[in-house]
Structures are given as C-alpha cells and as structure tokens.
Amino acid sequence: MGTQEAAGPTEWGQSVGMGPWTDEFGTAPPPDPRFDPELLEHGDRRNVVDQYRYWKRDAIVADIDARRHPLHVAIENFANDANIGTVVRTANAFAAAAVHIVGRRRWNRRGAMVTDRYQHIHHHATVDELLGFARNEGLTVVAVDNTPGSVRLETVTLPRACLLLFGQEGPGVSERARDVAAMTVSIAQFGSTRSVNAGVAAGIAMHAWVQQHADLSRAW
C-alpha cells in the first residue's frame, strides 16, 4: 500500500477535525485500542469521516478492508499523468479494493489529499503485468475511453469483479490495453469538448459501478 509520511494539505489547518477528546466530550478518552493516544490528546485534523475520528491509521485501513468492494481501478502513467491523485481519492471514497498504476512508479500525490494512506496501491511496469494480475484475481478488464467501437457506459452492466482501466490525459487508453480489455465503454457527452478529464471520467465510471453493485445501506 502506498503511503505518504509528510502532512498533506488537509492536515495543516484546523478547518477539519475535532479535539482534543476531553475538550470535545468533557470525559476521559475511552480505552478503545483503535484510538491513537496522540490524536486523543492533541485533536484530529485529518481528512477522515467522523466514524474514523481519533482512530489509528492501521485501524482505519483494517476497517475499510472489511468493507471494500471487488472493484479495482487502474490508470496508465506513461507520461506522469497529473490525474492519479484524483483517481486515488475517489477510489478511497468508494472503498475500491485497490488502485493500480501502470508505467511510471512516481506520481503526484497532492491530488490524493492524503487518502493514499488508507488506499491499497499497486504498481505494474507494463499493461501485460497488470493483465496477469487481473487474470489471477478473476477480474474482468473494462477499458474506459471514447474511442470508435466503445459502448455507452450508461447502457451496460459492469462486471461485479471488475478492473476499470483508464488511459492518461490526452492519448487515452493505450492500444494494447484496448485490445485485451473485455469491453471498452465511453461516457455520454453532449457538448463541444472531445473528452472529459481522466480524473472526472474515473469518478463517473466508479460511481456507475457503485450504483449497480454496492450495498448503499453501508454508505456513510
């Protein structure tokens, strides 16, 4: 799992969070082993939902692991795509099983808003390496790109055990990835732009999967 030790943008200020515990609740902190003693003492300003306020990072990851969906997300990173952080943040919001980065290992974490601390992230040097992972895990690869021959995302049922594959900004999904995907889906557009931002497209496609397969009663 990818981590980022330096404080992120939402961990600098005091616009998010609460605490210390005694200031908020007027009682001694409860003896819950999931709670972080330092956060209880000094307050929790992290970008986490209230359910996880004061929790240790490992405890948060373990709890999400028990609730994660069989949805994997991959994005190609052959030209240092700046959208990866947004994809990671959205995947975390939807409790995706993992984010897979294909190509360059390094990526700009700023857009992730520190959510990469709680999201499983894997690196694959090539598309074929990613496909080997998908085969071993029984995942159906669905490319997302507005290319000829694609089908409307709005009209298809996505596989439950699914790997959504996104290309980088500009060129889109690589030819090799399109060739091996079980299907390629496109997002319906009605304006003048040729394509939507890759990070936005990833959010739309992930939400389409959530609408079809997630238990919405478990959402926050």
Rounded to whole angstroms, the Cα distance separating 160 from 122 reads 20
Question: Using CB atoms within 10 A of its CB, is residue 209 exposed (0-12), middle (13-18) or buried (19+)?
Answer: buried
- For residue 103, CA distances in Å to 5, 69, 110, 176, 186 come to 23, 25, 19, 13, 23
> Each residue of 87-110: pLDDT tens digit?
999 999 999 999 999 999 889 888
Question: Which residue reads 């007027």 in tokens?
Answer: 26
Helix/strand/coil for 77: strand
pLDDT tens digits, 34-61: 999 999 999 999 989 999 999 999 999 9
Q: Domains in the chain and their CATH numbers?
A: 21-63 (no CATH), 68-213 (3.40.1280.10)
Residue 118 phi, psi (nearest 5): -115, 5
User: Is residue 4 very low, low, confident or very high in pLDDT (cuts 50, 70, 90)?
Assistant: very low
Beta bridge partners of 183: 142
